[in-house]
C-alpha cells in the first residue's frame, strides 16, 4: 500500500510538472501550428530572474512572482521578435527565428551571467521531507502536485469561462472565422504567448526546485519533455498535452522503479522506445483534437 | 452603404475575380449569382476582409476598407456567414453564440437579450444549447452560423451559399429566415447557387461569369431576362 502511494506521488508530481510544460507548448502550437523552440528559454529567464533577485531580500514568493512575470514578458517578446514579423510570410522563417531567439537568449545568459550553474534561492520547505502513511517524500513533490492542480484548474477556467479563452479555442480550430467575428489575431496570439510564459515560469520554479541552480541550457530538457508529451498526447489537443505529460511521467517512474540498477542510466532509451511504440499505434497522438484549420 | 469598384482578387497567378463592381444600399437584399468558379465567394470573402484585394476598392459608408483585416470589418458592422459553414465544432452552441457577440462583449445585457431572441427564433438551438456544435446536423449548423452572425448586431450580413447541401425543407426554412431578416431592415449580400430562390427574396441581382459581372438589374428583370439554367451550365 505504501509502495503504491509512493509510486502515485512520484507519478503525479512528475506528471504535473510535465503536463504544465506540455500545455505551455501546445497553447501556442494549437493556434499558430508552429512549435516555439524558444519555449525552454522562458524557463531559463524565470530561473535567472530568481538568481538576480536573490540578493534583494524580498520574500521568496515575491521573487517567484517577479520571475513568473518575467517569463510571461519573455513569452510576449518571443511573439514580437521571432513570430510576428515573419508569421504571415513563411513557416520556415518562423522556425529559424524561434531557434535564433532561443540561441540569442542562451548566449546572453552565457555572456552576461556565466556558463556555470548559479544558485537560486529556495524556500526551506523545498528541501524538507514529509512522512505520512508510511511514505517518506520530499515536500516539493506535494507542492508540485498542488501547484499543478491549481494551474490546471485555472487554465481550464480561463479556456472555458472567459471570452478570451473561448476565442483562443475558436482560433485554434479556425483562425479566419474567429477573426471574421471580430477576434483580433494579434491579441489571441500574444495572449497565447503570455499564457505559455506563465506556465513556463511556474514550471521553472518547480523544476529548479529539484536542482537548486540555473544554467544557460536549463530549458532544453523541459522543451524536449514538453515536445514528447504533446506528440504522445496529440499536438492539437489541450487535454492531450496534459494526458501526454502524465503518461510520460508514468513511464519514467515505472522504469525508475523496475529497471535494474545498471540499466537505469539507459532509462531514456526505454522511454523513447515506448514513445515510438505509442506513435506506431496512434500516429495522431492519443487525442486527435479538432479538425485542422488553416495556418495564419 | 457598400460600394465595390473594379475589384480583383488573385490566388497567386490566378485571378479569380477580374473586375467586379457592385453597390448595396441600406436595407437592400442583393444577390450575387453565377456558376461554380465564377468568383462569387472570392468577392464575398474579399469584402469580409478574409482575402486581400489585388486591385480595386471597397468602401463602407464612404470609408475606404479595401483589404482591411477581417476583425476590423467585423467591428465596422459586417458579419459573414461563409460557405464552409464554419461553426467551431468543439465549442458548444452557447460558446459559438457568445463569440458571435465578441465585438460587443461589454454590452452584457444586450448580448443576453439577443441570445434569448436567437434561441426563440431558432428553437432547435435552444435544445442543443450545451452540446458541441460539431454534433449538430448540417441544417442546424447553418442556423447556428446565421444566429452567431446576428449576435454582433451587424449592419451588413454577407451570406455565402446558405442553402448548400441542405434538404429542401431546411432550405425553405433558411430562405424564410433570410426574408425575416430583410424585413427587419438588415442589409444583405447573398451569394447563392439556388438562383430562383435567391431571386424570389432579393431586391436586385448581379450575375457573375469568369470573374466579371455580366448582368445586373432588379431581381424581376434578371429572372425574366436570363436563362437561369444557361447561367450555370455556361460556367
In a domain? residue B6 = no
pTM of the complete model: 0.88
Q: Are B217 and B25 in contact (CB under 8 A)?
A: no
pLDDT at B108: 87
Q: How far is CA B67 from the centre of its chain?
A: 18
A25 or A261, which is more confident?
A25
| Beta-strand relationship, B78-81 and B156-160 | parallel
Neighbours of A3 (CB within 10 A): 10
Consecutive 10-residue averages of pLDDT for chain B (235 residues): 92 90 94 88 94 93 92 94 88 93 90 91 90 91 93 94 89 92 94 89 92 88 74 53
- Taking the Cβ of residue A178 and every Cβ of chain B, the question of whether any pair is shorter than 8 Å is answered with yes
ipTM of the complex: 0.90
Mean pLDDT of chain A: 90
C-alpha cell at A245: 505529460
Angle at B134 between CA B128 and CA B135, to 5 degrees: 50
Residues of B (103-132) whose Cβ lies below 8 Å from A? 103, 105
Q: Is A181 in Cβ contact with B74 (below 8 Å)? A: yes
**Residue-number span of the structural domain to which B102 is assigned:** 26-51+66-233
Q: How far is B195 from chain A (nearest CA, A)?
A: 26
**What pLDDT digit, counting tens, does each position of A225-243 carry?**
999 999 999 888 888 999 9
Distance CA A68, CA A89 (A): 31
Say if B1 falls within a structural domain. Answer: no
B83 part of contact set with chain A, CB < 8 Å: no
Q: Which long-range contacts (CB under 8 A, 24 or more apart) does A270-276 make?
A: A272/A228, A275/A228, A275/A231, A275/A232, A275/A248, A275/A251
Query: B139-143 contacts: CB < 8 A, separation 24 or more?
Result: B139/B166, B139/B167, B139/B170, B139/B173, B139/B174, B141/B85, B141/B87, B142/B85, B142/B166, B142/B170, B142/B174, B143/B174, B143/B177
Q: Under an 8 A CB cutoff, do A183 and B49 touch?
A: no
Q: The C-alpha cell of A14 is what?
A: 512528475
Residue B21 covered by a domain: no
Give the H or E element holding residue A192: helix A185-211
Q: Which residues of A touch B160 (CB under 8 A)?
A: none
Q: Which residues have a Cβ under 8 Å from the Cβ of B186 and sit 6 or more positions away? A: B27, B154, B155, B156, B157
Predicted pLDDT of residue B232: 59
- Hey, are the CB atoms on A180 and B49 less than 8 Å from each other? yes
Domains present along chain A, CATH in parentheses: 2-281 (1.10.3470)
Total of domains in chain B: 1
- Looking at the complex, report in whole angstroms how far the Cα of residue B101 sits from the nearest Cα belonging to chain A: 8
Interchain contact A291–B (C-beta under 8 A): yes
Å from B229 to nearest chain A CA?
33
A54 touches chain B (CB under 8 A): no
**A115 at B interface, C-beta within 8 A:** no
Residue B49 at interface with chain A, using a CB cutoff of 8 Å? yes
For an interface test with B, give the residue of A180, A184, A294 to mutate (most B CBs within 10 A): A180
Is B56 within the bounds of a domain? no
Whether A1 contacts chain B with CB within 8 A: no
Q: Is the dihedral of CA B178, B183, B185, B190 positive or negative?
A: positive
d(CA A66, CA A53): 9
Give me the percent of chain A exceeding a pLDDT of 70: 97
Judge whether A245 and A292 are in contact, CB under 8 Å.
no
E strands, chain B, where? 2-11, 14-24, 29-34, 55-60, 63-64, 78-81, 156-160, 187-191, 204-209, 212-218
Question: Is a pLDDT exceeding 70 seen at residue A289?
Answer: no
- Chain centroid to Cα A214, Å, comes to 16
Task: Report residue B173: phi and psi, to 5°.
Answer: -60, -45
Q: pLDDT tens-digit profile of A105-131?
A: 999 999 999 899 999 988 888 888 888
Interchain contact, A182 vs B90, CB within 8 Å: no
Distance (Å) from the C-alpha of residue B167 to the closest C-alpha of chain A? 25
pLDDT tops 70 at residue A84: yes
Contact across the interface for A179 and B91, Cβ inside 8 Å: no
Strands B187-191 and B29-34: parallel
Q: How confident is the model at residue A89 (pLDDT cuts 50, 70, 90)?
A: confident
Residue B59 lies in a domain: no
Please check whether residue B79 lies inside any domain of the structure: yes
At A296, the pLDDT band (50, 70, 90 cuts) reads: very low
Q: What angle, rounded to 10 degrees, do the helices at A267-281 and A220-233 form? A: 30
What value, to the nearest 5°, has the Cα angle with vertex B140 and ends A161 and B174? 125
Q: What is the mean pLDDT of residues A80-107?
A: 89
Residue B161 β-bridge partners:
none
C-alpha cell at A191: 495572449
For cell 518547480, the residue is A206
Instruction: Tell me the CATH number at B169.
Output: 3.40.50.300
Amino acid at each position: 500500500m505504501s509502495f503504491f502511494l509512493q509510486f502515485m506521488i512520484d507519478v503525479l508530481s512528475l506528471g504535473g510538472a510535465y503536463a504544465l510544460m506540455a500545455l505551455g507548448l501546445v497553447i501556442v502550437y494549437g493556434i499558430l501550428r508552429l512549435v516555439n523552440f524558444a519555449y525552454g528559454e522562458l524557463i531559463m529567464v524565470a530561473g535567472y530572474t530568481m538568481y538576480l533577485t536573490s540578493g534583494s531580500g524580498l520574500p521568496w514568493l515575491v521573487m517567484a512572482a517577479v520571475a513568473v512575470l518575467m517569463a510571461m514578458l519573455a513569452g510576449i517578446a518571443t511573439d514580437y521578435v521571432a513570430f510576428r514579423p515573419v508569421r504571415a510570410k513563411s513557416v520556415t522563417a518562423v522556425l529559424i527565428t524561434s531557434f535564433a531567439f532561443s540561441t540569442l537568449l542562451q548566449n546572453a545568459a552565457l555572456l552576461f551571467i556565466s556558463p556555470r550553474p548559479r544558485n537560486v534561492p529556495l524556500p526551506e520547505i523545498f528541501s524538507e521531507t514529509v512522512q505520512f502513511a508510511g511514505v517518506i517524500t520530499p515536500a516539493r513533490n506535494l507542492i508540485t502536485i498542488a501547484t499543478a492542480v491549481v494551474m490546471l484548474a485555472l487554465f481550464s477556467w480561463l479556456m472555458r469561462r472567459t471570452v478570451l479563452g473561448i476565442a483562443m479555442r475558436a482560433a485554434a480550430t479556425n483562425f479566419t472565422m474567429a477573426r471574421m467575428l471580430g477576434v483580433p489575431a494579434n491579441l489571441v496570439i500574444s495572449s497565447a504567448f503570455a499564457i505559455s510564459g506563465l506556465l513556463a515560469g511556474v514550471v521553472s520554479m518547480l523544476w529548479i526546485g529539484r536542482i537548486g541552480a540555473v544554467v544557460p541550457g536549463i530549458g532544453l530538457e523541459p522543451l524536449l519533455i514538453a515536445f514528447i508529451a504533446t506528440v504522445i498526447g496529440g499536438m492539437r489537443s489541450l487535454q492531450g498535452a496534459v494526458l501526454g505529460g502524465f503518461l510520460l511521467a508514468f513511464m519514467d517512474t515505472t522504469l525508475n522503479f523496475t529497471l535494474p540498477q545498471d540499466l537505469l542510466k539507459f532509462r531514456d532509451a526505454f522511454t523513447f522506445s515506448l514513445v515510438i511504440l505509442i506513435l506506431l499505434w496512434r500516429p495522431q497522438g492519443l487525442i486527435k483534437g479538432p479538425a485542422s484549420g488553416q495556418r495564419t | 452603404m457598400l460600394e465595390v469598384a473594379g475589384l480583383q482578387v488573385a490566388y497567386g497567378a490566378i485571378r479569380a475575380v477580374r473586375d467586379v463592381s457592385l453597390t448595396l444600399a441600406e436595407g437592400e437584399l442583393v444577390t450575387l449569382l453565377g456558376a461554380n468558379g465564377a468568383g462569387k465567394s472570392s468577392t464575398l470573402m474579399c469584402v469580409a476582409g478574409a482575402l486581400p484585394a489585388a486591385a480595386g476598392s471597397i468602401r463602407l459608408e464612404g470609408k475606404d476598407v479595401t483589404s482591411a483585416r477581417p476583425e476590423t470589418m467585423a467591428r465596422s458592422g459586417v458579419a459573414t456567414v461563409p460557405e464552409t459553414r464554419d461553426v467551431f465544432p468543439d465549442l458548444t452552441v452557447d460558446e459559438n453564440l457568445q463569440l458571435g457577440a465578441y465585438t460587443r462583449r461589454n454590452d452584457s445585457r444586450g448580448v443576453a437579450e439577443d441570445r434569448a431572441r436567437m434561441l426563440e427564433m431558432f428553437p432547435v438551438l435552444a435544445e442543443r444549447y450545451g452540446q458541441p456544435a460539431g454534433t449538430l446536423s448540417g441544417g442546424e449548423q447553418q442556423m447556428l452560423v446565421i444566429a452567431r452572425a446576428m449576435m454582433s448586431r451587424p449592419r451588413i450580413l454577407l451570406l455565402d451559399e446558405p442553402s448548400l447541401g441542405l434538404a429542401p425543407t431546411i432550405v425553405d426554412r433558411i430562405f424564410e429566415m433570410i426574408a425575416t431578416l430583410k424585413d427587419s431592415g438588415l442589409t444583405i449580400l447573398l451569394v447563392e447557387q439556388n438562383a430562383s430562390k435567391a431571386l424570389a427574396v432579393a431586391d436586385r441581382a448581379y450575375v457573375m461569369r469568369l470573374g466579371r459581372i455580366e448582368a445586373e438589374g432588379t431581381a424581376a428583370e434578371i429572372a425574366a431576362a436570363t436563362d437561369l439554367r444557361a447561367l450555370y451550365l455556361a460556367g
